Structure 1
Amino acid sequence: MRGRLIIYVLLIATLIGSAFLSLFYYLEVKNYEEQMLDIVAKTPMPAHHLVLISEELDHEYWKLVEAGAKQAEDYYDVFVEFTGPQNSNQDEQVRLLEMAIAKRVDGIIVQALNDELFTPLINKALVQGIPVVTIDTDEPNSYRISYIGTDNYRSGKLAGHALIADLEGEAVVGIIANSLASTHMQQRVQGFKDAVEDEPGIQVVTIEESNNSRVGASEKADKMLKTYPHITAFYGTSALDGLGVVSTVTALNRDDIYIVAFDTLDETLALLDQGKIDAVVAQEPFEMGYRSVGIMLDIINGKEVDKVYHTSTSIIRKEDLKNGFQIVNDYGQVEIRPW
């Protein structure tokens, strides 16, 4: 009997102790939450919420765009919500654009890949008072206020002129584009074709789509070489196209084939240095991201902006790497480190 009494007393004491401990921790947590709420209340929030919708989150090119936008975010004290599909997907971009409009954000920066899909939504945003800036790919027939990015038609012409100069006007060419449904790819292809059309020794024999995939580009290059074994040059209109072509050409031991590619990714520059790629069209994605935020804030603050801001585009070759090739944008940021 005495033993049971002791057990009961110990149980009661344990329960009382647990209750006190629970109360103590509850008060501590509550106090911490109140402190955090106080800190949040005293922390000034960014004045504006912007959304930047990219083509693909995991692509190195778009990571440079994001880096530029995030640096601008710090400089201008705004919140830039950088978003996009994990892999290139226009339907997902459209869904994200619809979400940004529904959230009534202060401004939208978007890559506009397709007239039919993007124009109605861009117009809808403007009608609802949300300014829109297009980036990388323009939609000039929409209500968008400004465009920041490459002159894609000119970049295609630069690629064509590089090929003419390097091959002395003699080539049988296959073109691989990531998507012929995308406006900027159409422009890059057309620019190239216009550049070479008056060269009687240059013939474009086929154009294929890679679906923005290195594997897709490799498979299409293999198919093209089997169908047109006399091809002597490839033009890849996006970063992964050139890399895919190199894979196939290397596997087939076709070192005689000339390759002009897009974008200065680390791997692309390495292949240029090794002589596996002959020329690269260099863009300025970091500056696109940075300046798009500044342009949007000018619009929000009622300042007049230009309809189009073209970032610079150039051709680089292996000798440029030996000279420590780099791009420095208007804000002193080095986009491509010296090789």
Structure 2
Amino acid sequence: MKRNVLYSILIAAFIIAAGFSVYFYQQAQAEDAKIAARVNSGEEIPQYHFTLIGEEVNHDYWRFVEEGAKTAEEDYDVFVEYKGPERSNPEEQLKLLDMAVQSKVDGIIVQALNEQFPPLINQAVEKGIPVITIDTNSSDNMAHTYIGTDNYMAGQLAGEALVEDTDGEAVVGVLSGSFDNSLHEQRVKGFTDIVEQEEGIEVAAVEESNISRVDVEEEAYNMLTANENITAFYGTSSYNGVGIVAAARSLEKEEDMYVITFDAIDENIELLENGGIHAIVDQQPFEMGYESVEKMLSIIEGNTVEDDYHTDVTIIRNADLPVGTNREDETS
């Protein structure tokens, strides 16, 4: 019996290892094809090859990051390879990070989402590959610098905006994108540190949305049915506002609900224009992408860089929107 169990474990391990090998082979083949296409077209091959690993490859926010990096790619004549899972998946990101390390690229730009990322980041640095953490950072990695939002401060700004807009009177539901992600932890902490100073504000519940449109709507619906006195919501992720509004609308509470969420993606801007969302914490993903390539080149050239480069964060309300705002034009 024990022997059968051992055989099963060994077979499973072999299948997993084989799967990783196939995955890495396919990814390597895809990159070889890209390079071959550039050679065949007569394009000069850039001197440096950087890998940018996003949290969710087709997410509007990460597309802005990619756009910034690709603009810098053209300005500085480097090759930026943009990768990421189809849907937020830290394990998939770790595979992509490991592949970049094994491929010995010239630089890696990646989040430090949780405790599993620093060992691989450190491995890359020890092998002589410069690493920049972007969007999400941790204190226990050897990355050369961090570029992105000061997420604790962003949470504080959100808290101050809610206090101002509700005149200090609200029962708040908080939706964190992820309990395992330090970025969202900091945004919740900054927010609660502000609103808990207000006697008229109560945080009724803090729940997790798993950075998913479907999950956030379901979680917001459950929070509203379990806490009927909630009058305001704070979401720490791009799609939280969309899900919160949909849940409030289904319970016919949209008119009475104050909503503040992150990121000026098109859907959030539309909801801000029509009153479904009342305030947006606006980050600068394009600048994050662009500056990460600039700083990577600076590191390679031997220049000293700071530990952190915090991009701007602002609060956008309906009154701040110019007529006919087009987010894509704004970030191009």
The two structures have a TM-score, normalised by structure 2, of 0.85
Of 324, 334, 338, the residue aligned with 2:330 is: 334
C-alpha distance in structure 2 between counterparts of 1:221 and 1:327, whole Å: 26
Q: How many residues align?
A: 295
Q: 2:316 is matched with which residue?
A: 316
Secondary structure of the residue that 2:297 maps to in structure 1? helix
Q: 1:48 is matched with which residue?
A: 48
C-alpha distance in structure 2 between counterparts of 1:256 and 1:40, whole Å: 60
1:305 CA displacement: 1.0
Letter of the 2:69 counterpart: A
1:223 CA displacement: 0.5
C-alpha distance in structure 1 between counterparts of 2:325 and 2:147, whole Å: 24
Question: Are 1:201 and 2:203 counterparts?
Answer: no
Letter of the 2:122 counterpart: N
C-alpha distance in structure 2 between counterparts of 1:95 and 1:179, whole Å: 20
More deviation in 291-300 or 315-324? 315-324
Q: Which has the larger radius of gyration?
A: 1
Equivalent residues in 2 for 1:289-304, closer than 5 Å: 289-304=289-304
Secondary structure of the residue that 1:109 maps to in structure 2? strand
Q: 2:33 is matched with which residue?
A: none
C-alpha distance in structure 2 between counterparts of 1:324 and 1:131, whole Å: 42
Once the two structures are superposed, residues 295-320 of structure 1 have per-residue CA deviations (whole angstroms, 9 ceiling, x without a partner) of 00000111111111100000010101
Once the two structures are superposed, residues 260-296 of structure 1 have per-residue CA deviations (whole angstroms, 9 ceiling, x without a partner) of 0110011111110101101100011011111100000
8 Å Cα contact 2:132/2:292 also seen in 1 = yes
**What's the % identity of the aligned pairs?**
51
Q: 2:256 is matched with which residue?
A: 256
Q: 1:307 is matched with which residue?
A: 307
Secondary structure of the residue that 1:206 maps to in structure 2? strand
Equivalent residues in 2 for 1:1-339, closer than 5 Å: 40=40, 43-114=43-114, 116-254=115-253, 255-322=255-322, 334-335=330-331
C-alpha distance in structure 2 between counterparts of 1:288 and 1:195, whole Å: 26
Secondary structure of the residue that 1:304 maps to in structure 2? coil
Q: 2:6 is matched with which residue?
A: none
Secondary structure of the residue that 1:159 maps to in structure 2? helix
C-alpha distance in structure 2 between counterparts of 1:326 and 1:270, whole Å: 10
8 Å Cα contact 2:68/2:290 also seen in 1 = yes
**Gap regions ≥5 residues in structure 2:** 1-35
Question: Could you say if the C-alpha distance between residues 197 and 41 of structure 1 is closer, same or farther in structure 2, counting changes exceeding 3 Å?
Answer: closer
C-alpha distance in structure 2 between counterparts of 1:67 and 1:202, whole Å: 39
Q: 1:33 is matched with which residue?
A: none
C-alpha distance in structure 2 between counterparts of 1:322 and 1:79, whole Å: 36
C-alpha distance in structure 2 between counterparts of 1:73 and 1:335, whole Å: 16
C-alpha distance in structure 1 between counterparts of 2:177 and 2:133, whole Å: 20
8 Å Cα contact 2:264/2:327 also seen in 1 = no
The two structures have a TM-score, normalised by structure 1, of 0.84
**Gap regions ≥5 residues in structure 1:** 1-35
